[in-house]
Structure 1
């Protein structure tokens, strides 16, 4: 037929040509029904969605915990959200598979029965067609009136009694065929079985919606075909006798294409071919018979275009248009009566009152010619498809990991660079701030050293790590810090060189003894100074305490005058004889205990 063309075939003779295909020639028994072996031979080999969900969940958790630059709170929030989403998807998929197995057990069992003799793997290579619509009992009445599936010469036919079951049955078939969707859907229509056009239109809308749902569920558009079964021969006052025919069985007329058919023009050639066939198969001189038969063919085609295609292809309907790849008509079908809509249609067009026609004997021929130009599906295993999707997920995760590693390394370099700039910007005189800025540098250097010894963490790796380049500038900055010389803890002044015995006034010339104290205070401006007086144990303790306080105050006053600083920077304290540094039992010890101590107060104490 080429890419698109008409066909005219005897009811079953065209099947022999398909049976002679080279890929099936080695298994001639594969196309006959066989005894029951099992109905689950090929079940459970569909797309492993649950396994892919677990794989995606594992990748996501790895990225969240090991790579992404996130706060701990955000990490836990995303972990909980991903866990709930994965559990919900797994539960939904498990329930869907259970429902599919439960709802389609009978049909899948029939498939397993009729294909049990086909070599393993060939069942997914043979065309599998879903057949729904009118006359299913007569079409599948081979040796069992309840048969749901049939292996013909070159195709597997699966019966769909209810259009609503089409989506889930198509999904079950895809799983049964190891991820390959059905090759097409054939809608059989027997005009004589429909009482009026409205009821037919409503049924066609249901079929159209079911087809759209199935295509959406499978992720691919299924080719659609229309097969019309209607008795056409023997109409009018002059009927064609058996000897007038050059064929011995009903013939198919129509058009089919690997690509969707567009508009009524696709069937014009089919109508012409049908009329030519009628002319050839009628006896010369039977003009009325030829005219009536040709009018019948033209009428059924026109009826199909108006009442069937008009509903299936109308773009104003909510469901997607029927993906029509072929339509065929055959002089075979149920009995008809004069008052049926179809008979009235013939009478209006031919102006001849039709006679009743008996039903064709079962089984009716399957519409094999329609599917001979069926589009070839890509035979991609669902396992291979899942592997491809897993690799795609892995590639996406790798891209996210590279991006996250780049961001993490950028943040690390930015932080260490900012810490180095801050450290170098602080003057050496501000030792406290300098030491504070030194702490993060030491921590960063230790961290980079640890990475060099034990390995770079995953969040910084993937070839993006440049932290080793910062170890040298960090060590240089740390080594550049020089701590200032510590101030003398205490300057001790001999009281006897400053004061007369029992007095608190400084003696003349005693100021030379306090030069060291002056130098110490000048070297550390801003420091608070504690001046403490001490005595030996000669005399009563209250007098000694009062004397020590007075001597400390005298030294403080002299330092204030000498340095020109505020008295509030000083603190005085008298201890009397309570803190000796030597033995008061000896003259030398008592001399050492009579002293004034000048101490710089540490910053922490301030």
Structure 2
């Protein structure tokens, strides 16, 4: 039974929905970015989900034979146990000799020695297989990758180095895809001598070094050689042991220069292998003087090694290499996904608080600025005061709406303090006093009321005063200013006297006609000093000959 593994697509969708909710309801970056950010979030989420879907589908397709073989091989292993058993991917040379064991069809899985060994014929398939194994093992990646190196299968060191660089890139890609560093191991299969030990099992014993950390240094490698030399002194089959120890020292040095150098060279573009172990065994394909290791021996000793026959299959898997394999702390993918979801919610909450704090600061700054602007405008600039007053009324209505219907999310989270400004807004609005209205004015043509040069009302002229009487009666209590004006014909002093006399005559008639006390009237003659048109035309002079009746509101009436 295959478990679900880490729900990466679900987490991506959850993160996208969470980001959209915060962005739309809290608007931490402002309204101007809302649509652009929404499109960006949707594009990124869709791309990630699509990429993940294609990657999983490709991994399952590429790994379908391995998954079937795993299912058949582990059918009797409890599900909880198989996730704890070390699972090692084996790639490189001579995999048929390691896995098939005389079977009619290629074997992809071998279970033994407390581990699951998985065959990967092409190093380029390591990323897909590693991803499929992480799904199969309930989110746990493979425990390591063993690179099988059989030098005798390569024509020269350059051809081998090219294969090693491919394996290096494949392991880097696999580690990146599964999100964990995969420990790397090197197993060298090489016939080191033509001699046959008395105990056939001696030729199938690994000389290895491994650790729970990526540490393959010169001291550890030398320890392998020293142990082989010490064993040769105690071995009853001394001749084989001595030749084997000398050959081992040579193949180990060659491995360090050629294999380790290619896999760990920092000048190469791919991530260096994290080497956790290496092993050598006197077992492998047929070899002769034209193979890479033998050529290296000739360069250093001037002696051509003899040809050797291939070791009959099966060849042993490098079990000693993985005995010190680091063990990962197992965590359920659902638990990890839940922890990630909680972390995302914490980030969303942080963004919401930051956005709410920013919006509240902007709200308070705006209202304070509107209050200050209104307070600085002089009372005689009524247009500017009315404009500022409209802003205050809009602010007051906004805060009042929040008080009645609730504070929006972008201002809430306990950071809203707008209600504290309502009293100040109401006080500023109530303090506004409109300017006094302009006085009501009735302008009468002097020639329709008086004869030329006269200050006595003509008979029948009262009909022209009906509008003035109605205006005065409609505003009882108002002071009445009667001003007389003339054109510039004649003497200026005479014109001033005439205009004042005509205003007085009109006052006397209005007192008699309306019964208004004389104390409410004021009379003023201006002569020709306040023309409203040019005196160089008859039409202009006619307009300048006038009497104006003005109702002046009292200041007390305005303030009340």
Q: Shorter-chain TM-score category? A: 0.7 to 0.9
Correspondence for 1:321: 272
Which deviations, in whole Å up to 9, do the C-alpha atoms of 1:109-141 show, x marking residues without a partner?
222222222212322211111101112111112
The one of 213, 218, 230 aligned to 1:259: 213
TM-superposed CA distance for 1:172, in Å, is 1.7
1:182 aligns with 2:142: yes
* Secondary structure of the structure 1 residue equivalent to 2:323: helix
1:119 aligns with 2:78: yes
1:469 aligns with 2:420: yes
TM-score of the superposed pair, with normalisation by structure 2: 0.77
Aligned 1:97-496 pairs, distance under 5 A? 97-142=56-101, 143=103, 145-232=105-192, 234-235=194-195, 240-242=197-199, 250-283=204-237, 288-337=239-288, 340-343=291-294, 356-483=307-434
TM-superposed CA distance for 1:179, in Å, is 1.8
Cα–Cα, structure 1 residues 567 and 341, in superposed 2: closer, same or farther, change >3 Å?
Answer: closer
Correspondence for 1:561: 526
Cα–Cα, structure 1 residues 450 and 195, in superposed 2: closer, same or farther, change >3 Å?
Answer: same
TM-superposed CA distance for 1:296, in Å, is 2.0
Report the Cα distance in structure 2 between the residues aligned to 1:521 and 1:103, rounded to whole angstroms. 105
CA contact (8 A) 1:423 1:438 kept: yes
TM-superposed CA distance for 1:220, in Å, is 2.5
TM-score of the superposed pair, with normalisation by structure 1: 0.72
Report the Cα distance in structure 2 between the residues aligned to 1:495 and 1:409, rounded to whole angstroms. 69
CA contact (8 A) 1:141 1:363 kept: yes
Report the Cα distance in structure 2 between the residues aligned to 1:520 and 1:373, rounded to whole angstroms. 114
TM-superposed CA distance for 1:104, in Å, is 1.6
TM-superposed CA distance for 1:490, in Å, is 6.8
Report the Cα distance in structure 2 between the residues aligned to 1:458 and 1:113, rounded to whole angstroms. 55
Report the Cα distance in structure 2 between the residues aligned to 1:234 and 1:434, rounded to whole angstroms. 109
What root-mean-square deviation, in Å, do the aligned CA atoms of Structure 1 and Structure 2 show? 4.0
CA contact (8 A) 2:480 2:549 kept: no
Cα–Cα, structure 1 residues 217 and 564, in superposed 2: closer, same or farther, change >3 Å?
Answer: farther
The one of 499, 502, 507 aligned to 2:457: 499
* Secondary structure of the structure 2 residue equivalent to 1:561: strand
Report the Cα distance in structure 2 between the residues aligned to 1:357 and 1:162, rounded to whole angstroms. 27
Deviates more, 1:138-147 or 1:52-61: 138-147
Which deviations, in whole Å up to 9, do the C-alpha atoms of 1:348-386 show, x marking residues without a partner?
778877655443333221111101111122322332222
TM-superposed CA distance for 1:427, in Å, is 3.5
Cα–Cα, structure 1 residues 199 and 65, in superposed 2: closer, same or farther, change >3 Å?
Answer: same
Deviates more, 1:400-409 or 1:483-492: 483-492
Correspondence for 1:526: none
Cα–Cα, structure 1 residues 274 and 70, in superposed 2: closer, same or farther, change >3 Å?
Answer: closer
Correspondence for 2:24: 65
Cα–Cα, structure 1 residues 193 and 456, in superposed 2: closer, same or farther, change >3 Å?
Answer: same
> Which is bigger in relative contact order (C-alpha 8 A, separation at least 6)?
1
1:92 aligns with 2:51: yes
Report the Cα distance in structure 2 between the residues aligned to 1:276 and 1:566, rounded to whole angstroms. 132
Instruction: Give the number of aligned pairs.
Output: 495
Report the Cα distance in structure 2 between the residues aligned to 1:89 and 1:297, rounded to whole angstroms. 50
Cα–Cα, structure 1 residues 196 and 488, in superposed 2: closer, same or farther, change >3 Å?
Answer: closer
TM-superposed CA distance for 1:82, in Å, is 2.3
Which deviations, in whole Å up to 9, do the C-alpha atoms of 1:157-205 show, x marking residues without a partner?
1111011111221122122222211111111112222222221111111
Report the Cα distance in structure 1 between the residues aligned to 2:400 and 2:222, rounded to whole angstroms. 84
TM-superposed CA distance for 1:565, in Å, is 5.5
Cα–Cα, structure 1 residues 122 and 599, in superposed 2: closer, same or farther, change >3 Å?
Answer: farther
* Secondary structure of the structure 2 residue equivalent to 1:260: coil
CA contact (8 A) 1:255 1:328 kept: yes
Gaps of 5+ in 2: 486-501, 507-522, 534-538, 553-560
Report the Cα distance in structure 1 between the residues aligned to 2:480 and 2:65, rounded to whole angstroms. 104
CA contact (8 A) 1:292 1:350 kept: no
TM-superposed CA distance for 1:478, in Å, is 2.0
Correspondence for 2:499: none
* Secondary structure of the structure 2 residue equivalent to 1:105: helix
Correspondence for 2:518: none
Which deviations, in whole Å up to 9, do the C-alpha atoms of 1:47-103 show, x marking residues without a partner?
322212212221222222221265655322222232223222222222222222222
* Secondary structure of the structure 2 residue equivalent to 1:101: helix
Cα–Cα, structure 1 residues 69 and 373, in superposed 2: closer, same or farther, change >3 Å?
Answer: closer
Cα–Cα, structure 1 residues 305 and 427, in superposed 2: closer, same or farther, change >3 Å?
Answer: closer
CA contact (8 A) 1:130 1:184 kept: yes
Which deviations, in whole Å up to 9, do the C-alpha atoms of 1:236-266 show, x marking residues without a partner?
xxx5434xx8x66621112111111243332
CA contact (8 A) 1:140 1:150 kept: yes
CA contact (8 A) 2:26 2:409 kept: yes
TM-superposed CA distance for 1:456, in Å, is 0.7
